[in-house]
Amino acid sequence: MGKDRPNGADFSVQNGGKRQPNRQMSTELYDMASKVMLIGDSGVGKTCLLVRFKDGAFLSGSFISTVGIDFRNKVVDVEGTKVKLQIWDTAGQERFRSITRAYYRDANALLLLYDVSNKASFDNIRAWLGEINEYAQEDVVIMLLGNKADMTSERVIRTEDGERLANEYNVAFMETSAKTGMNVDLAFMAVAKDLKMKKTRKPTDPKFSVTDYVNQEKQSVGCCSS
Ligand SMILES: Nc1nc2c(ncn2[C@@H]2O[C@H](COP(=O)(O)OP(=O)(O)OP(=O)(O)O)[C@@H](O)[C@H]2O)c(=O)[nH]1
């Protein structure tokens, strides 16, 4: 069993002052560890998604872009196995792309976000998938997330558009809201479950499908908030 860094599991690598809540020291034990990267255009809500998952809070107020890359750890329980997710929050701005690209090859899973109220962020998803194809490991777990699903009146990307794109690239998809918490835990849990299954699955076991799992579990817009 591994152990988290005793001197504070989370630290900022190169974040020039983006607002962050207080961080707690963590010495939680775990059975396996995986790296998850959050990627997507600037402003789609990567930092907010991570903070919602890690702290259960929403960072409101003025938007301050991530500088470089930052990570935080969270240990989740997947059917009795403690999976440590080391979650890398990358800067969406173009000028940091060469830094973030360098981290792709170590990632076990990628959460690729767009903002349902921002068409350009959706149109850029194909380019992000191209980057993944070029720089990430072949067996990386990819999930497409349409974030800010709470912004119903500003929405310009329909759920079906996200689903269609995800089907085209054969990746799992769901809509999330870092503001309400909708599907946020599920996105990370689905990834943790897939990574655990990959590691522990016997050749005779049925293959785990992230898409089937999220389709069973996901909440629809307007259904729930936390
Ligand atoms: N309504 C709503 N606003 C959100 C949501 N997620 C993030 N935001 C807002 O969107 C803005 C950008 O959020 P960030 O999490 O900083 O975006 P980012 O993707 O990390 O941006 P970069 O660091 O530049 O790559 C902030 O003003 C957030 O409050 C959401 O789910 N719903």
Q: Which residues touch 35 (CB under 8 Å, ≥6 apart)?
A: 86, 88, 106, 107, 108, 109
* Ligand 1 site, residue 150, Cβ cutoff 6 A: yes
* Ligand 1 site, residue 181, Cβ cutoff 6 A: no
From ligand 1's centre to the CA of 34, what distance in Å?
24
Mind listing the pLDDT tens digit for each residue in 103-140? 899 999 999 999 999 999 999 999 999 999 999 999 99
pTM of the entire predicted model? 0.87
Ligand 1 atom 26 nearest Cα = 63
SS3 34: strand
Separation of alpha carbons 220 and 58, rounded Å = 20
From ligand 1's centre to the CA of 167, what distance in Å?
25
Return the pLDDT at 221. Answer: 65
Index of the ligand 1 atom closest to the CA of residue 44: 19
Mind listing the pLDDT tens digit for each residue in 158-195? 999 999 999 999 999 999 999 999 999 999 999 999 99
